[in-house]
Chain A
Amino acid sequence: MRGSFACGVAPLLLTLILAPAATTTFFSLPSPWGYRCDVGRCIKEDNTGVEDLVTLNTCKLTCGPFGVLWPQPKSATVGKEVVQFLPSNITHKTSCAPAVCELLEQAVVIFKDNLQRYHPDYAAGLTPWKGPWGPATVGHTLNLDVTVNTDATRLSLETDESYSLSVSTTGQTTTAIIITATYFGARHALETLSQLVEYQEYQDSLMIVSTAEVSDSPVFKYRGLILDTSRNFIGVEAIERTLDTMAANKLNSFHWHITDSHSFPLYLESLPKMSYYGAYSSRHVYYPADIRHLVEYGRVRGVRVLPEFDAPAHVGNGWQWTEKEEGLGKLAVCVNREPWQSYCVEPPCGQLNLANPNMYKLLGQIYDEMVQLFSPLDLFHYGGDEVNLNCWNTTAEIVAWMTENNNGLDADAYYVQWGTFQERARQLLTTANGEKEVTGILWTSHLTEAGHVDRFLNNSQYIIQIWTTGDDPVIGELLKKNYRVIFSTYDSWYLDCGMGAWVGEGNNWCSPYKGWQKVYDFSPYEIAINQTGADQRDLIMGGEAALWTEQVDDTAVDSKLWPRGAALAERLWTNPSANWKPAETRFIHNRQRLVKRGVMAERIQPEWCHQNEGLCYL
């Protein structure tokens, strides 16, 4: 096929050299370069007089054992041939329960849109397919045949996300057969299928590998990203884009750290003053319709939207009205108190007032509305990190209350009260959830330290999210005590590290920047084996990369999350035994694909490395 183009190239070039082109001719000659697959690697060669070279995309699709699939499936055989087709020639049939079929229809629309985006001139939902196409391309059809065997429509930690995908081609028809237990497996299969497709530049068409067999399931159940929308507000569109991109990488939990001491951007119908006082402005608010929209947007894309309401620390702005306007008293103390270093870890300070029972009234109301907005919940995040005892212990009202109740005023006395707070919070949430227990998640903190954790927290009720370093002995302690855990160790999985400081000068506290290689190579099982002698796969739910937003807003949210979030995704889906090196070429292609889908993912290498596989080594 390339031969016919190669023939045309030489004479044309001569003309170009002899007669300078008129100003700004956009040269639409085929590239002088072609690619040859050589033992799993695409090698760039001069096209002149060579018949059997293919385009870069064609080579990438068919050359390596896993093509350009990301995350790498558990098992896959990808064919060496491609067939061309047009995006208008896709049909589908489904066999499923009605509620599942309804979701599947949406998933197919998303799948088709993703294919449209492969066109280099895709913009604002429009794709200018122009051809010229050969009859084989025009006549070719892609048929999707999807069977889902159960009627689950909500993700839980028990959801079966596995799928099988079989692609075969007979004559003018390529058929993709997808068979799964749940909707969530089926939509993962469509993501995989979309990665067997690429743009074919010489025909201005799509192409798909003519045969493939994929059988796939994730290693970890919980594969997440945290986004903090309190330090800086992140627009709804940016969150949609984040959910899209998580779906593309088969990540399944969007952990939404909605509020913090900086701002309270959550509009609650029963407590409108929280955001009225606490949001940066009325334009920096998530309204109920926004939340419901995003929860549903995530569900269709196989992503659980998991809310966090961080307490009893990390509260503050938004709580200022209770004393003055409603006579409820101060429900948060130390709010914006100075000098901040004495009362919290970063400005501004704020912590709930344990001494005022009205605080629980409000907390219950907040939970009530959150449960409604995010329902049905299968997990809830209570936060629970970084309590500053000095805040409480220097607040007259709390000191008086502690003294009156003979609680004592030492650190342990406060830990006990914090533990009591957590138990009451749990009860309030259970009530809010119609007395149905929901597994809670808590950050590692003083409460989860060695010797403390089983005093305060029941391992059947809580999952502990670890944010300290990978060598923190608390990890072993938690696992030995049968706590389920989620890893978010900051020395590998904090995506905000490596910038300048935002208080003072120098670099920020968790510098350096965590490169994708580091994200990829961090293995929870290895940590567990090091600390406990076993991989603890029943207790390790998975992991989550965190984007705290002190220094991020809409402008850089994509480039901070991606492609590093994709590195996390392969670690958690595939848990590869190898390190990042064999994944690099696929990873770079996946990044290119994410960009085509409209994500401003960061570039990690010169494009030259994408076109010259394996030569950007050290």
Chain B
Amino acid sequence: MSRVSTEFTVNLSEAMSLLSRLLSISGADVSTHNTMFPGGMLRLRWVMLLPCLLLVSVPFSATFRVASPWGWRCVNETCVKEENDGLQTLPHLSTCKLTCARDGVLWPRPTGILQLGDQTVHFLLESLTLQGVTAPNDEIKQLIKKAFHIFKDHVAKNLPEEGGRPLLMGPFRKKTRIHRVMVEVTVTERATRLSLETSEAYTLGVTTLGPHTNATILASNFFGARHALETLSQLIEYDEATGALQILSTAAISDSPVFKYRGILLDTSRNFFPVKAIERTLDTMAANKLNTFHWHITDTQTFPLYLESLPNMAYYGAYSSRKVYYPADIRHLVEYGRVRGVRVLPEFDAPAHVGNGWQWTKKYGLGELVLCLDKQPWKLYCWGRPCGQLNIVNNNTYLVLGQIYKEMVDLFSPLDMFHFGGDEVKINCWNTTEEFVAYMEENGLSRDLQTFHDMWADFQRKALKLLTSANGGKNIPGIVWTSSLTDENILKYLDPQQYIIQVWTTADDPTIGNLLNKGYRIILSNYDSLYLDCGNADTYRSGESWCGPYNPWQTVYDNSPDKIATHFTGSPQRNLVLGAEAPLWSESVDVGSLDAKLWPRGSALAERLWTNPLTNWESAEIRLIHHRQRMVTRGVRADRIQPQWCHQNEGLCYLK
């Protein structure tokens, strides 16, 4: 019924047979309690209370605690809101959502087997335990335990609070009180670091027998296992009717992503983002099975990265000493991401997009290592103010750059990729700088565009060498943005074995076809669909931003790498198209609106990349809206995309 990805390992077939065994065991039990909605007796009591409450007007500000007059009936995989008639009490919305549609409320939708039961069982948070862990070593066992704690925290967040205290719940039926939900995780491989080769596949089986629900997770490595826990958390909802948690009594899922690289870019140079906000971003990426946090740490505006060997960079370049990422912060975030299945991928953008932070070098006798810094009128010297470009003809530049790489490698280690930036070089900056021009004349270089590009490519070769040496001689793939180095002459400048090209131009840019035809691996970040900062007012003048209008979630969802590659080359080029990434450039964003810009649009990207659905946004809408609610429940300030009425009245917010 669904695609089973080719990345699946042998373990999968074993898992499948286990799953089917588990399911056959549980079949009998399910049929015993599908006649009546669990909690029905309790709810009847509330309904009987209702008339008195309505007759006696409630004193001011008493929160009404009577059951809602509404319930939801599952009709053709749609939850339909109906008034309870006093004899029959329909399930609450969350129960219906959990049990009604074929895909439940899973996000991103699994790609393999997906069989969800239509019954739930109730349990209390303390009855949710990690029953068994099978893993090749202790490190992986510890990772799994951490992932389980994170999972359980997320489950706990379903429980409503008022003023920081849990709302009054219970009394619970005995059946609820004694029910146990036991999770078992089996991992066979030793991988503890993500790479482009990591299998993220998993299987998840849920079965219920009497007072026990077992969730069995099988994955070849830790990353698949933690994805399974995310999926499991989406089979659990709070039940308004009973105040207890509920889990689907049966489920069988096998799942693996279609694209390997599923990323979000955050720019922390234009505006600073506190560590807490980045943690929240990693949490939410994990909840969406996104696996790459591309950190555009520095740019011309600021240098918020504290380097122990070069403290002057942040001292001169940060907005203030409070707006700095210290080594412990970076290490913390790298580990925080790892436990959540997210690679923290650093970018050091060069030779353009540098500037503030480099002002000290002249004073310390190294010469001007950044040219055109804050130079006016900016339009002549850079693509976006303030200006700044590395002085690639001063050898000290490489000395400092090597030092920066060395510390970055140390902080982000072990790296499986590195982003060199490499976008938006303005030749005119170099060509109007006396020192630069003098160097060219001395060396008999003609000042044509070609020569400047050769010099830029030469810089990139040196940068790669410095990085490799910083990385202990170990070569890793480099990523660069599309630029004038990546046009039809790219083979002259960049080795297709060495570099992955990140495309930021539009989906109809022929560069994409050119890159694929020449065998380059690419990551799509086409701004016409994936730039999450577009559509505000322009940063610097009255009117719309350069890349407006706003890219709605529907546009993000429908931006299909397969379609884009096929358009140019006749095939999806899955071996070359590694995935995609939605950038949040932060000229007009800081922590105040970070979450709302990233989410739920980042979730739309996540399903496109994990599931690569054949259908468009319309068939995902109801699930996405519920998923957005789930993220809010977990403390993310995700944007609201529809009135809550649409969440409660599925399928009625259409336009025909």
Residues of A in contact with B (beta carbons under 8 Å apart): 13, 16-17, 20-21, 23-29, 31-32, 46, 48, 120, 231-233, 262-263, 267, 269-270, 272-273, 275-277, 280-285, 287-290, 292, 317, 320-321, 336, 338-341, 347-348, 498-507, 511-518, 521, 549-556, 558-559, 579-580, 595, 599-608, 611-612, 615-618
Q: Supply 15 further A-B pairs (C-beta < 8 A) apart from A347-B645, A602-B589.
A: A28-B321, A48-B363, A263-B644, A282-B68, A285-B63, A500-B550, A502-B642, A512-B549, A515-B544, A517-B542, A552-B640, A559-B592, A580-B542, A603-B593, A606-B539
Q: Which among B312, B540, B541, B652 has the greatest number of chain A C-beta atoms within 10 A?
A: B540
Q: A338-B652, A603-B592 given as contacts; is B542 within 8 A of A515 (CB)?
A: yes
B117: Cβ under 8 A from any A Cβ: no
Write 19 A-B pairs (CB below 8 A) sorted by A numbering.
A23-B308, A24-B326, A273-B54, A280-B645, A283-B63, A338-B652, A339-B656, A498-B550, A500-B554, A502-B643, A505-B617, A511-B549, A551-B639, A600-B591, A601-B592, A604-B537, A607-B272, A615-B374, A617-B540
- Per the bound structure, the CA–CA distance linking A505 and B326 in Å amounts to 43
Q: Give the chain B neighbours of A579 by CB distance below 8 A.
A: 542
Q: Give the chain B neighbours of A16 by CB distance below 8 A.
A: 311-312, 315
Q: How near does chain B come to A374, taking the closest CB pair, in angstroms?
A: 14
Q: Give the chain A neighbours of B586 by CB distance below 8 A.
A: 603, 606
Using CB atoms, name the residue of chain B closest to A521: B542
A277 lies within 8 A of B69 (CB): yes
Q: How near does chain A come to B655, taking the closest CB pair, in angstroms?
A: 3
- Per the bound structure, the CA–CA distance linking A233 and B647 in Å amounts to 13
B537 lies within 8 A of A17 (CB): no
Q: How near does chain B come to A345, taking the closest CB pair, in angstroms?
A: 12
Q: How many residues of B contact A (CB 8 A)?
A: 99
A29 lies within 8 A of B552 (CB): no
Using CB atoms, name the residue of chain A closest to B625: A502
Q: Which among B323, B554, B589, B592 has the greatest number of chain A C-beta atoms within 10 A?
A: B592
Q: Give the chain B neighbours of A505 by CB distance below 8 A.
A: 552, 554-555, 617
A555 lies within 8 A of B645 (CB): no
Q: Give the chain B neighbours of A549 by CB distance below 8 A.
A: 640, 643
A606 lies within 8 A of B63 (CB): no
Using CB atoms, name the residue of chain A closest to B378: A615
Q: Give the chain B neighbours of A559 by CB distance below 8 A.
A: 592-593, 596
Using CB atoms, name the residue of chain B closest to A16: B311
Q: Give the chain A neighbours of B329 by CB distance below 8 A.
A: 24
- Per the bound structure, the CA–CA distance linking A56 and B596 in Å amounts to 30
Q: Give the chain A neighbours of B380 by CB distance below 8 A.
A: none
The 3 closest A-B pairs by CB, nearest first: A515-B537, A500-B552, A289-B61
Q: Give the chain A neighbours of B374 by CB distance below 8 A.
A: 612, 615
A29 lies within 8 A of B315 (CB): yes
Q: A500, A555, A616: which contacts B540 (Cβ < 8 A)?
A: A616
- Per the bound structure, the CA–CA distance linking A504 and B320 in Å amounts to 45
B271: Cβ under 8 A from any A Cβ: yes
Q: Give the chain B neighbours of A13 by CB distance below 8 A.
A: 312, 315
A512 lies within 8 A of B63 (CB): no
Q: A25-B326, A289-B61 given as contacts; is B588 within 8 A of A605 (CB)?
A: yes
Q: A262, A502, A611: which contacts B641 (Cβ < 8 A)?
A: A502
B270: Cβ under 8 A from any A Cβ: yes
Q: A29-B315, A555-B632 given as contacts; is B641 within 8 A of A500 (CB)?
A: yes
Q: Give the chain A neighbours of B378 by CB distance below 8 A.
A: 615
Using CB atoms, name the residue of chain B closest to A564: B537
B328 lies within 8 A of A23 (CB): yes
B64 lies within 8 A of A272 (CB): yes
Q: Give the chain B neighbours of A231 by CB distance below 8 A.
A: 643-645
- Encode B75-88 as 1/0 by CB contact (under 8 A) with A: 00000000100000
Q: A283-B160, A603-B589, A605-B587 given as contacts; is B61 within 8 A of A288 (CB)?
A: yes
Q: Give the chain A neighbours of B649 by CB distance below 8 A.
A: 336, 347-348
B514: Cβ under 8 A from any A Cβ: no
Using CB atoms, name the residue of chain B closest to A14: B364
A262 lies within 8 A of B645 (CB): yes
B550 lies within 8 A of A507 (CB): yes
A290 lies within 8 A of B309 (CB): no
Q: How near does chain B come to A388, taking the closest CB pair, in angstroms?
A: 17
- Encode B575-604 as 1/0 by CB contact (under 8 A) with A: 000000000001111111101100000000
B385 lies within 8 A of A604 (CB): no
Q: A602-B593, A608-B356 given as contacts; is B270 within 8 A of A498 (CB)?
A: no
Q: Give the chain B neighbours of A320 by CB distance below 8 A.
A: 83
Q: A282-B68, A339-B656 given as contacts; is B595 within 8 A of A555 (CB)?
A: yes
B58: Cβ under 8 A from any A Cβ: yes
A32 lies within 8 A of B324 (CB): no
- Per the bound structure, the CA–CA distance linking A612 and B302 in Å amounts to 12
B641 lies within 8 A of A27 (CB): no
- Per the bound structure, the CA–CA distance linking A17 and B586 in Å amounts to 31
- Per the bound structure, the CA–CA distance linking A275 and B57 in Å amounts to 13
Q: How near does chain B come to A342, taking the closest CB pair, in angstroms?
A: 11
- Per the bound structure, the CA–CA distance linking A15 and B529 in Å amounts to 49
- Per the bound structure, the CA–CA distance linking A262 and B617 in Å amounts to 24
B519: Cβ under 8 A from any A Cβ: no
Q: A602-B588, A605-B587 given as contacts; is B655 within 8 A of A504 (CB)?
A: yes
B652 lies within 8 A of A287 (CB): no
Q: How near does chain B come to A181, taking the closest CB pair, in angstroms?
A: 35
Q: Give the chain B neighbours of A273 by CB distance below 8 A.
A: 54
Using CB atoms, name the residue of chain A closest to B644: A280
- Per the bound structure, the CA–CA distance linking A339 and B66 in Å amounts to 32
Q: How near does chain A come to B545, taking the closest CB pair, in angstroms?
A: 8
- Per the bound structure, the CA–CA distance linking A545 and B644 in Å amounts to 23
- Encode B43-68 as 1/0 by CB contact (under 8 A) with A: 00000000001100110111111101
- Per the bound structure, the CA–CA distance linking A54 and B324 in Å amounts to 22
- Per the bound structure, the CA–CA distance linking A435 and B321 in Å amounts to 63
A29 lies within 8 A of B321 (CB): yes
B644 lies within 8 A of A605 (CB): no
Q: How near does chain B come to A198, taking the closest CB pair, in angstroms?
A: 14
Q: How near does chain A come to B325, taking the closest CB pair, in angstroms?
A: 10
Q: B326, B645, B656: which contacts A341 (Cβ < 8 A)?
A: B656
B478: Cβ under 8 A from any A Cβ: no
Q: A283, A504, A513, A514: which contacts B548 (Cβ < 8 A)?
A: A513
Q: A20, A284, A340, A555: which contacts B639 (Cβ < 8 A)?
A: A555
B311 lies within 8 A of A269 (CB): no
B194: Cβ under 8 A from any A Cβ: no
Q: A46, A556, A600, A611: which contacts B640 (Cβ < 8 A)?
A: A556
A499 lies within 8 A of B550 (CB): yes
- Per the bound structure, the CA–CA distance linking A285 and B642 in Å amounts to 19
Q: A232-B640, A518-B537, A559-B592 given as contacts; is B654 within 8 A of A504 (CB)?
A: yes
A272 lies within 8 A of B69 (CB): no
B62 lies within 8 A of A608 (CB): no
B475: Cβ under 8 A from any A Cβ: no
Q: Which residues in window 541-578 of B have CB below 8 A to A?
A: 541-544, 548-555
B322: Cβ under 8 A from any A Cβ: yes
B536: Cβ under 8 A from any A Cβ: yes
B61 lies within 8 A of A287 (CB): yes
Using CB atoms, name the residue of chain A closest to B543: A515
B416: Cβ under 8 A from any A Cβ: no
Using CB atoms, name the residue of chain B closest to A27: B321
Q: A23-B328, A606-B301 given as contacts; is B58 within 8 A of A556 (CB)?
A: no
Q: How near does chain A come to B201, taking the closest CB pair, in angstroms?
A: 32
- Per the bound structure, the CA–CA distance linking A283 and B63 in Å amounts to 8
- Per the bound structure, the CA–CA distance linking A558 and B656 in Å amounts to 33
Q: Give the chain A neighbours of B555 by CB distance below 8 A.
A: 500, 505
- Per the bound structure, the CA–CA distance linking A263 and B644 in Å amounts to 9
- Per the bound structure, the CA–CA distance linking A147 and B301 in Å amounts to 47
- Per the bound structure, the CA–CA distance linking A559 and B386 in Å amounts to 26
B8: Cβ under 8 A from any A Cβ: no
Using CB atoms, name the residue of chain B closest to A518: B542
Q: Give the chain A neighbours of B595 by CB distance below 8 A.
A: 555
Q: How near does chain B come to A13, taking the closest CB pair, in angstroms?
A: 7
A27 lies within 8 A of B587 (CB): no
Q: How near does chain B come to A229, taking the closest CB pair, in angstroms?
A: 11
- Per the bound structure, the CA–CA distance linking A600 and B538 in Å amounts to 20
